[in-house]
A and B are shown apart, each in its own frame.
Chain A
Amino acid sequence: MRTYLDFEKPVAELEAKVEELRAMQSGENPVAIEEDISRLETKAAVALRDLYSSLTPWQKTQVARHPQRPHCLDYVAGLITDFVSLQGDRKFGDDDAVVGGFGRFRGASVCVIGQEKGSTTEGRLKHNFGMAKPEGYRKAVRLMEMADRFSIPVIALVDTAGAYPGIGAEERGQAEAIARSTDACLNLSVPNVAVILGEGGSGGAIAIATASRVLMLEHAIYSVISPEGAASILWHDSTKAQEAATNMKITAEDLAKYNIIDQIITEPIGGAHRNPPAAIVSTGEAIANALAEFDGLSPAAIRQQRRQKFLAIGRNIG
C-alpha cells in the first residue's frame, strides 16, 4: 500500500480511480475501458509531475520524512557489496541509529557510515528513529580513523532528525561526541562524500556530513533545527512550522545557492519513495563521480581542500 501525503490528495484520487477501473477490467465481466485507464494514468502522472516540480519547503519536509522513502540500509544494500557491519564504539556500547562498516563500492573498498531511521515499527525502535547517541558518533569516529589508516574513502549517508536528546546521551557527552566526530571528518586524509538522503538534522547531521563533497537528494532537507523546533522557539507557536521551513532555507535548491552543498541528486518523479531503485542508482552515480574527483590527490591536498571548502562557506555572501 502506498502512503500518500496530505498534499498528494489529487494524485491519490486519480490513482485510486485507476486501480478501481483495473479491478473492473480484470473482474468477471471485463469491460473495454483500456482507453479510460490510460487517459487517467496520464492525468495522474502529469498531476504528480506538476506537483513535485514545485514542492514548498514544508512539503519537501514531509517527503524527506516519508515512511516509504529509501533509508540508509536500502542504499547500503543497493550500492555496497561485501558489506561488513561493525558494531560498537569500544568505550561504552553500540548504537543502531548509526550503521557503519566496510565493503565494496563498484569494486573498490569503502567505509560507510550512515544514520538509519528504520522502515518498520520494529526497525524504527531498534534504530531509535535515526537519532544517534554519543556511542553512535564515537563509533563513527572509530570507523573514520580506521578508514584513514587503511586509506579507504568514506561514504556518509545522512538521515536524522537530530542527535537524541536524553538523559543518558547528555550524561555520556553528546556534545563532545558530535564535536569529535566533526573533528574526525576534518582530519581524514582520504576523501569523504556525504549524501543527505532525507533529513539533515543539525549537529546530529554535521557530525558525519563534514565532507569533501556534500551531495543532497532533490527533496531532502538540511537545517540547523527542525521547522517545528524553530517555530516553537522563534514564533512560540509550533503551528508556524510551515513558515519556519520557508524562512530557514532548508531545501537542496536553496542550499546549493549558498554553496552549502555541492550537488543535487535528482529524484524519480514523485519522490524517491515512488521508485527507490532509481533513486539509489542516481545516488550511486553521484557518489562515484564525487569520489573520482579526488583520484590521485595527496592526503595533504585532500585535507586542505576540505578545510578550505568549509572556511569559504558564507564568505562570499553579499
Chain B
Amino acid sequence: MNWISNVVRPKIRNFLARRDTPENMWIKCPESGQLVFYKDVEANQFVIPVSDYHMRIGAETRLRMLFDGGEYEDVALPEVATDPLRFRDQRRYADRLKDARTKTGLQDAIKVATGTLEGLPVTAAVQDFDFMGGSLGMAAGEAVIAGLETAVKNETPFIMFAASGGARMQEGILSLMQLPRTTVAVQMLREIKQPYIVVLTNPTTGGVTASYAMLGDVHIAEPGALIGFAGPRVIEQTIREKLPEGFQRAEYLRDHGMVDMVVHRHELRGVIASLCRVLTKAPAADKTLTQLIANLPAPAEA
C-alpha cells in the first residue's frame, strides 16, 4: 500500500462509481417486475409509475427533494474513532468502511443539513441505506446527535428520514450505546418544544426503530416500507411459521397504531411542511394540512 493506492485509487473509483446512471437505462420494478425507463422514475421522485413502488433514494437526493429549491447547507459532523474494536469477520471492518465510502461518497450512513421548507427553517437528517445498510454505529449516532443539537441551537423542527438494518455489529456494544445516546438528544429537542418528525422509509428495523426512529412527535411512513424491531427472517426462524401478508409494512404499522400516516412520496414534502408550520404555530402556507390529509388514501378496513 502506498499513497497512490490509498488516496488516488479510491478517488478514481469514487468518480467512476458515482457517475450518474445512464439516461437510457431501464430498470425493473422489484414489486411488479415491469421494466421502466430510468429517466421516468427519476422524474417521478424515484417512485415507479403504475406500481407506485417507492425506491430507496440516497441521502443527497432526499435532501434536494425536501428543501426549497433543492438547496441546503451541510452540517459538519464530528469525527469518530474508526474501527474501535479492530473488528474482523470475513473481511476487515476497516475495509468494508472504505468500500462503503467509495460507493456512496458519504463519510458514514447519515447526512445532516439545514435549509428552509416552504420558507420555514428546518434541520433534517437522512440515513442512507446504501452505506452498510444504513447501520447505526458511532458515526451515525454522532450525526443524529449533531442534527438534533443543530435543531436545538437554531430552534428549528427536526426531520429524520430513517432507513436502516439496525445496529452496526462491527462496532459491538458501542453501536448499542447509540440507542441511549440518540435518545438523550431527542429529549433535548423536546425540552425546547420543537417538533420532531420521523419519516420511516424502506427498510427501518432493529436498533434504529428501538430508539430515535420511534420517538418522534409524528411518525410518517412511506408506502410499503418495511418497519419493525426484529427482521422478518429472525421472527420466522423463532416462531417457525409463515408471516402474515403485509406484516411489518408501513400500512400494517399504521393500522396497529405505530405510525400516524402512510404518505406517498409526492405528498411527503407538503405534509411535513404543513405539520412543521402547525406545530410551531407559524402562519399557514398556501396548502393546508387538512387538504393534504383528505387526499391520502383511506386506511384499510380492519
Cα of A182 to Cα of B172 in the assembled complex, Å:
19
A222-B184 contact in complex given A166-B239, A176-B258, A314-B80, C-beta closer than 8 Å: no
A224-B167 contact, Cβ under 8 Å, with A171-B256, A180-B215: yes
CB pair B244 A167 closer than 8 Å:
yes
Which residues of B lie under 8 Å from residue A203 when comparing CB positions?
176, 179, 206-207, 210-211, 229
Q: Measured between alpha carbons, how far is A318 from B86 in the docked complex, in Å?
A: 12
Say yes or no: A225-B210 contact (C-beta < 8 A), given A170-B248, A314-B177: no
A123 close to B (CB within 8 Å): no
Tell me if B81 and A165 are in contact (CB < 8 A). no
A-B contact count (CB 8 A): 166
Asked if A249 contacts B85 (CB within 8 A), the reply is yes
Instruction: Check if B199 is an interface residue, CB within 8 A of chain A.
Output: no
Bound: A164/B229 CA distance, A: 10
A173, A223, A307, A314: the one within 8 Å of B184 (CB): A307
- Given the known inter-chain contacts A176-B214, A203-B229, please indicate yes or no for A182 contacting B180, CB distance below 8 A: yes
Selected interface stretch from A12-20, A22-30, A34-42, A228-236: A228-236
Cα separation A307 to B145 with both chains bound (whole Å)? 12
Inter-chain contacts of B81 with A (CB < 8 A)? 314, 317-318
The complex places the Cα of A163 from the Cα of B257 at a distance, in Å, of: 20
Partner of B230, one of A165, A179, A207, A318: A165
The count of chain A contact residues (Cβ–Cβ below 8 Å) is 50
- Residues in B whose Cβ lies below 8 Å from that of A169: 229-230
Tell me, in angstroms, the Cα distance from A37 to B120 when the chains sit together. Answer: 83
Residues from chain A with a CB closer than 8 A to the CB of B70 are none
Give complex CA distance A138, B234 in Å. 23
C-alpha gap A310/B257 in the complex (Å): 30
Determine if A185 is an interface residue (Cβ-Cβ < 8 Å): yes
Could you tell me the dominant secondary structure of chain A's interface residues? helix
CB distance from B38 to the nearest CB of A (A): 32
Query: Range of interface residues on chain B?
Result: 35 or more
Closest to B253 in A: A173
Residues of B near A166 (CB, < 8 A) are 235, 238-239
B138 in the interface, Cβ–Cβ < 8 Å?
yes
A79 within 8 A of B: no
Report which of B89, B180, B186, B234 forms a contact with A310, defined as CB distance below 8 A: B180
Q: Are B247 and A210 in touch, CB under 8 angstroms?
A: no
Q: When the two chains form their complex, are residues A202 and B176 in contact, meaning their CB atoms are under 8 A apart? A: yes
Rounded to whole Å, the gap between the CB of B192 and the closest CB of chain A is 15
Closest residue of chain A to B82 (Cβ to Cβ) is A317
Complex: how many Å from CA A153 to CA B149? 29
Q: Which of A172, A179, A236, A260 contacts B173 (CB 8 A)?
A: A260
B258 touches A173 (CB 8 A): yes
Inter-subunit contact A179/B215 (CB<8 Å): yes
* A170 lies within 8 A of B228 (CB): yes
**For the complex, what is the distance from the CA of A313 to the CA of B177, rounded to whole Å?**
7
The CA-CA distance from A45 to B229 in the complex, in Å, is 45
* Binary contact track A250-275/B, C-beta < 8 Å → 1, others 0: 10000100101000000000000000
Residues of B within 8 A of A222 (CB): 173
Q: A179-B209, A235-B89 are in contact. Are A165 and B169 (CB under 8 A)?
A: no
Cβ–Cβ contact A310 & B181, under 8 A? yes
Among A179, A236, A314, the residue within 8 A (CB) of B183 is: A179
Among all A-B residue pairs, the 7 with the closest Cβ atoms: A165-B230, A175-B209, A175-B229, A234-B89, A174-B229, A203-B210, A317-B81
Q: Beyond the given A163-B210, A223-B172, A314-B174, could you list 18 further A-B residue pairs with CB under 8 A, ordered by the A residue number?
A: A170-B248, A173-B256, A175-B210, A175-B258, A179-B213, A182-B180, A183-B187, A206-B176, A206-B177, A207-B210, A210-B179, A224-B175, A224-B176, A225-B169, A248-B85, A311-B184, A313-B177, A314-B181
* Chain B residues packing against A (C-beta within 8 Å): 80-81, 84-85, 87-90, 138, 141, 145, 167, 169-177, 179-181, 183-184, 186-187, 205-207, 209-215, 228-230, 234-235, 238-239, 241, 243-244, 247-248, 256-258
By a beta-carbon cutoff of 8 Å, the part of chain A in contact with chain B is: 163-167, 169-176, 178-180, 182-183, 185-187, 202-203, 206-207, 210, 222-225, 230, 233-236, 244, 247-250, 255, 258, 260, 307, 310-311, 313-314, 317-318
Q: List 6 A-B contacts (CB under 8 A).
A: A178-B229, A222-B173, A233-B169, A236-B90, A248-B85, A307-B187
